[in-house]
Amino acid sequence: MSGLVSYRAGLAAEDAVARRYFEGGQVLAETRWRGVSGEIDLIMRDGAAIVFVEVKKAATHAKAAARLTSRQMVRIYAAAAEFLAGEPAGQATECRFDVALVDAYGRIEVLENAFQG
């Protein structure tokens, strides 16, 4: 897959995942939010709680899950801390870290609390 095709497929996956959260009653706060530490694919609001979502797309859910590295998790934690600094409750804001896996058929599997911050 070419770089541009991969990029567009990733954006489409993020949009589909955001719609799934929206259908579940959550509100999209940010897409591809970038801080000094890195980028977070989706940031959703679930009442007063924040859900940080890393979207991984591959041929299968297993291959998508394998693409999440410990280095990425560290980057996501740091970026999330930056985002939370702007919230009224700051670092005390309730939050969780989900991973949304998207396969070649567009099927979505959300792993809630996939890693702990």
pLDDT digits (tens, 9 = 90+) for 82-104: 999 999 999 999 999 999 999 99
Q: Give residue-wise pLDDT tens across range 9-47.
A: 778 999 999 999 999 999 999 999 999 999 999 999 999
Residue 3's pLDDT is 73
Structure tokens at 79: 């970026």
pTM of the model: 0.92
How far apart are alpha carbons 107 and 19 in whole angstroms? 13
| Continuous segment of H or E residues that includes residue 20 | helix 3-23
Phi-psi domain of 21 (left: phi exceeds 0; alpha: psi -120 through 50; beta: other):
alpha
* Average of per-residue pLDDT across 98-114: 95
Q: Where are the beta strands (DSSP E) in 9-114?
A: 27-34, 39-46, 49-57, 95-102, 108-111
| Residue 94, C-beta contacts closer than 8 angstroms, at least 6 positions apart | 48, 49, 50
Question: How is residue 34 annotated by DSSP?
Answer: E
Q: Which domains does the chain have, with CATH numbers?
A: 3-111 (3.40.1350.10)
pLDDT at 5 over 80: no
Residue 116's pLDDT is 65
Per-residue buried b or exposed e for 71-99, using 16+ beta carbons within 10 Å of the residue's own CB: eebebbbebbeebbeeeeeeeebebbbbb
Residue 7 or 112, more confident: 112
Residue 7 or 74, more confident: 74
Question: How is residue 91 annotated by DSSP?
Answer: G
Mean pLDDT computed over every residue of the chain: 93
Residue 18's pLDDT is 97
